[in-house]
Amino acid sequence: MPLSQKDLSTSLKMTPRLFQNDIAKSRNKSTFIMTPPTNYSRLSLNQYTTFSWNVEDAVKGCERAGLPWIGLWRDKVAEFGLENSACVARESGIKISSLCRGGMFPADSESERQKRIDDNRRAIDEAATLGTDTLVLVCGGLPDKDLSAARQMVYDGITAVVPYAQERGIKLGIEPLHPMYCADRNVIVTLGQANDFALQLNAAFPEYQMPVGVVIDVFHVWWDPQVFAEIQRARGIIFGFHICDWITPLPDVLKGRGMMGDGWIQLRKFREAIDAAGYDGPIEVEIFNETIWEMPPDKVLDLMKKRYAREVM
Amino acid sequence: MPLSQKDLSTSLKMTPRLFQNDIAKSRNKSTFIMTPPTNYSRLSLNQYTTFSWNVEDAVKGCERAGLPWIGLWRDKVAEFGLENSACVARESGIKISSLCRGGMFPADSESERQKRIDDNRRAIDEAATLGTDTLVLVCGGLPDKDLSAARQMVYDGITAVVPYAQERGIKLGIEPLHPMYCADRNVIVTLGQANDFALQLNAAFPEYQMPVGVVIDVFHVWWDPQVFAEIQRARGIIFGFHICDWITPLPDVLKGRGMMGDGWIQLRKFREAIDAAGYDGPIEVEIFNETIWEMPPDKVLDLMKKRYAREVM
């Protein structure tokens, strides 16, 4: 007996719900029942994840893997050439999710602080040439023991570059780093603090539309009892979302990140919270890890896609 | 001409102020002008700082160095014997500032969580036998990815041991650990969170006088933008104060602590803030560092005293 229009409509309405249950079951039991093709439209390769590749290798790797986004690093871009990098990305159609990194504002003399500001302006120019809209800021560590003063230098440094960035169409994303990097890399150590800075800076520049925001990397913020409240507070100023995992024992302070699913972070919970806060941009996989760096990079992209599908979406 | 009583009194009032200036100058210029003997009445050796020593070695080392306090560890106490440890300390007159450590509450089954609670009760008995009034709690890491659930297990675990501790005269000091230990050692990662737990637990046990408090170790909390506000909030529930330093590059995730003055922490600022919050108890030096462990322990105590005088008091 053929289905009536009403039956058909009920059936169509039911299917997705049942489907979700199946997916949930398949996740829990690792029994494959039925799964939709994962949508990779937000997945971005931060090029440090495939450290041995130059910009062109990485762009072509993304093409082969069907990844629409790539996050670039200034040192890699300089190595391959700024114009060449821009050209390779443009021709491939791969979009550049962000450029890492500006920042590093605190220094122990006025002249050195000015040099850092000048370098940030160069980073902004590079970002504009590459055609990305986001410069990630790793704000810098301590020139001396005065942590409050260093934080003020960060605030003043960002203030000094906001107009320059806005004139070139570049948004500045403050990335809070894990507190273990507070002394030597970044005195901005919580999402709450990054939100405070971004909101205060935006209020200081009413002539621009949200020139400063935050970049949320799960590795740096996952431990924070306030993080989900701060994700909500960041609505409208989330300029980037980076993923990897926290593995134990931590292999290395700097190169200790794990592949998604190999560690302790509730990645899907973060992705859902960040989605719920209105962010629908690229999701960058950024992993510094010697073992992953030794893998054939195409295999890393393959694994990355699988884990993104299983752990994040 | 002899000084009048008024002159004398003015002179007596003036001296300390001038004296402070001299000390400040001597600190800045490292020119020795005049310095009072440092008061070591609060200085405590956490015995892990001199890792090669057993309890008796450490107690005798404190006697030789004129240190009035020692902080003991359960494994070292077990190795030397509980009664022997208690006896050696009692006979020396060295007071035990705290016993490390209880905690480690989260586990993936009810029965395993009960084992942890039982072990905390044994730790409380040991603390009572040793004659200290404080058990330091390192609350434990993740049994699985559910961080909120692990934090609830910590809360429930402490709840389960409060009456037992109170009946034996033992206070429980929650020590927030650095966020880099969140996965494997302690899901309590900020002083704010430790304060929340302690205040809520104390409210849950109105029959006792502040059974739960916090232990503040600068290594774990120095990076926190909220830490000085939280120190003020901890007034009345600060049960311990641990010092060392944060050195860069961090030599090791676990054994990476530095001697006071070798790193980035504003130790005097912390000591003054903690004093101002009403704490006047022992100040424990707790350093896990292979290089320091290889030094002759008497020399470590010597250096510790010098740095305590120069950097903390």
What confidence tens digit (pLDDT) does each residue in B19-66 have? 333 344 444 545 556 667 889 999 999 999 999 999 999 999 999 999
- Interchain contact, B184 vs A249, CB within 8 Å: yes
Best residue of A191, A223, A250, A267 to probe chain B, by most B CBs closer than 10 Å? A223
Q: Is B174 on the interface with A (CB under 8 A)?
A: no
Residue range B89-103: mean pLDDT, rounded: 97
Q: Is B34 on the interface with A (CB under 8 A)?
A: no
Chain A residues in contact with B184 (beta carbon < 8 A):
248-249
Residue B303: Cβ-neighbour burial (10 angstroms; 0-12, 13-18, 19+): middle
Chain B residues in contact with A150 (beta carbon < 8 A):
none
Q: Is B37 on the interface with A (CB under 8 A)?
A: no
Minimum-distance CB partner of B179 among A192, A223, A266: A223
φ, ψ of residue B16 in degrees (nearest 5): -60, -35
Residue range B164-179: mean pLDDT, rounded: 98
Minimum-distance CB partner of B264 among A145, A193, A222: A145
Nearest of B165, B177, B107 to residue B135 by alpha carbon = B165
For residues B126 and B74, the answer to whether their CB atoms sit within 8 Å is yes
Best residue of A146, A178, A248, A266 to probe chain B, by most B CBs closer than 10 Å? A248
> Any idea how long chain B is?
313
Pairing of strands A245-246, A257-258: antiparallel
Residue A198: Cβ-neighbour burial (10 angstroms; 0-12, 13-18, 19+): buried
CA distance, residue B86 to nearest chain A CA (Å): 35
| Tokens, residue A146 | 């005065």
Quote the pLDDT of residue B38: 86
Q: Is B149 on the interface with A (CB under 8 A)?
A: no
3-state helix, strand, coil in chain B (%, to 5): 50, 15, 35
Quote the pLDDT of residue A163: 98
Minimum-distance CB partner of A183 among B151, B193, B246: B246
Chain B residues in contact with A245 (beta carbon < 8 A):
none
Tens digits of per-residue pLDDT, B193-205? 999 999 999 999 9
Quote the pLDDT of residue B36: 74
| Tokens, residue A27 | 């996740």
Quote the pLDDT of residue A161: 98
Quote the pLDDT of residue A37: 82
Q: What is the CATH number of domain B43-312?
A: 3.20.20.150
Tell me the ipTM for this assembly.
0.88
Chain B residues in contact with A265 (beta carbon < 8 A):
145
Tens digits of per-residue pLDDT, A227-264? 999 999 999 999 999 999 999 999 999 999 999 999 99
In the stretch 74-113 of chain A, residues with CB closer than 8 A to chain B read: none
Q: Is A174 on the interface with B (CB under 8 A)?
A: no
For residues A196 and A230, the answer to whether their CB atoms sit within 8 Å is no
Quote the pLDDT of residue A47: 98
Residue B7: Cβ-neighbour burial (10 angstroms; 0-12, 13-18, 19+): exposed
Residue range B289-300: mean pLDDT, rounded: 97
Quote the pLDDT of residue A15: 34
Global pTM reads 0.88
For residues B243 and B203, the answer to whether their CB atoms sit within 8 Å is no
Quote the pLDDT of residue B33: 61
Tens digits of per-residue pLDDT, A140-179? 999 999 999 999 999 999 999 999 999 999 999 999 999 9
φ, ψ of residue B249 in degrees (nearest 5): -65, 145
Minimum-distance CB partner of A183 among B142, B248, B253: B248
Exposure letters B225-240 (e unless 16+ CB within 10 A, then b):
bbbbebbebbeebbbb
C-alpha–C-alpha distance, residues A66 and A60, integer Å = 10
Chain A residues in contact with B224 (beta carbon < 8 A):
179, 189-190
- Interchain contact, A225 vs B145, CB within 8 Å: no
Q: Is A272 on the interface with B (CB under 8 A)?
A: no
Quote the pLDDT of residue B37: 82
**What is each CA distance from B151 to A262, A270, B14, B119, in whole angstroms?**
21, 18, 53, 19
Query: Which residues of chain A register pLDDT less than 50?
Result: 1-27, 29
Torsion of CA B188, B193, B199, B204, to 10 degrees: -60
